Structure 1
Amino acid sequence: MRITSKIQTSLVLLGSIAFVTGCGGVSALDPITPSPPPVLITPTPAPGATPVPGATPVPGATPIPLATPTPVPGTIPTPIPLPTPTPGPATAADQLRAVPQQVSVQGKVLMATAAVWINRMPSTSPTDLRVLASIAIVAADGSAVPSGLQIDRISVARVADVWASMSVDLRRDANTVEGVIRQGPLWNNGNTVDIVADLTDSAGQHYQLRATTTTVTTVY
C-alpha cells in the first residue's frame, strides 16, 4: 500500500509539472536567466538650450531650445517719433514785444524812445507810487515827423503784465510827438518794461511802434 501511494504522488507531481510547462510557465526544472541591468540614459542638451537654474532634468527628456527672433531680410525698423511740443498761445505781453522798433509813415522812418518812472517829487502825494510812462516819436534822420501824427494809445508790458491807456496827454513840437499816461500799476524800481504806441497818420492809417526796452526809475 505504501508503494502504491508513493507512485500515485509521483504521478501527480509529474502531471502538475507537465501542465505548467504546457501552459508556457516556468517549471522548477527550467534554468533561470537573470534580467539585464537597467541602462541609465543621460540627456544631451540641444544646441541653444538654456538650462533652468535648480531644475532637475528628466531622464530621456530633450530640452527645447529658446526661440531666437529672425529679422526679415531687407527690412529696417521704424523708429517711433517723439511728440512735438506745441507752443502755447502768445500772450498780450509777447505780442507787444514783437512790435517793430521802426516803422515807415508817409515816406519817413520813425523810431521811439520811452521812460517809465515813479514820481516821488515833494510836490506830489508821497503815497501815490503808481508809475507814469511816456513815449516820444521822432524821425530816424532827425527831420520833422509827419504832420497830423497822433498817438491813440500807449501800452506797457512788464513780463506777462500789460498796462494800456488811451488817456494820452500829447506834447508836440516840430520834430517830436510825445505821449504821457499816468496812474499806472504799482511796479517796482528797476523792473524791465517795453512800451508800444498805437499811431494814426493824417490819412487815417494805423501803425504800431515799440521803443527800446527800458527800466522803471524813481524821480525825487
Structure 2
Amino acid sequence: MGEKIDWHDRFTHQLKWTKSFRERIYKKLNFGKLTNLLEIGCGTGALLLEIGSKFNLKLHGIDVNAARINAANQNLKKKKIRANLYTMDIKKNSFKDATFDVIVCNLVFLWMDELDIVFQEIHRILKRNGFLIIFCEPDYGGLIEYPDTGLKSALIKNLRELGADPEIARKLGSYFCQNDQFSLFDQYIISVPWISISDEMKNNMLKELSFFDQILEIGTFNRDKMKHAIKQGSYFLFNPAFSFILSKK
C-alpha cells in the first residue's frame, strides 16, 4: 500500500471490461436522439469521454470529490469535449425538475447512503419517460476465486472500512421496485470472468494484482499464491455485477 494510484487510468481500464455491453445499451436506447445527460459520480470523466466522443449530447457530471471534478474538466478539455461539471452531492443537487433525458452511473451506488433520497432526487430531475441507467454495480459478496487467496474477504473488509457497501447491488431492487416512481425497462447480470489461459489474460490479471497490492493491507490476502496461480494458468476470478435500466413513470 501507499503507492499513488492513477485513478483516471484505473477508471478507464474498468470501462474496458464492459465496453461491448454499454455499446448494446447505447443502441437499444437510441442515444443519438437524446438531448441532456447527467452522470452521477463522474469521477475523472472516463465515461463522459466515451459518451461525448460518440454522441452530440449536452453532457453534465457531478461528483462529491472536487479534485476529480478538476481532473475531469482537464481530461475532457484535452479531447475537446464540452461538459458542465459540478462538485455536488445528488442528494443536495440544484437541478430543476425534469431536466434530463437520461441519467447514468457506473460503480457508484456502493459509495452512497440514504438511497431513498437518492432515488427521489433522480426521479425529480428526470424527464417523464426518461431513463436511469445503472451500467455496472458489483456485488463483492458474490465473488468467486480459485484457488482461494482470501481476496474476497480482504476486498469486503477494505470497502467497509472506507464506508462502502460491498453488497449493495443485490439490494438495489428494494429501492426502485417497491414504489411507483420507476418501471424496470431491462436488467442484466454481467461479469468479466478472469481465466488466466492466455498471455493477455495473465497480463490483465497481474495488473489487477498490482492494484490489489496498492489498496489492500499486506497480509490480508495471499498475493504470492495468486501470482503463482496466474502464471501457472490456473487462477479464476468471477465477480458478478448488476445493471439496470429504469424508466421514470
TM-score (norm 2): 0.18
Higher normalized contact order (CA 8 Å, seq sep 6+, divided by chain length):
2
For the pair shown, which has the larger CA radius of gyration, 1 or 2? 1
Higher helix share: 2
Higher strand share: 1
TM-score (norm 1): 0.20
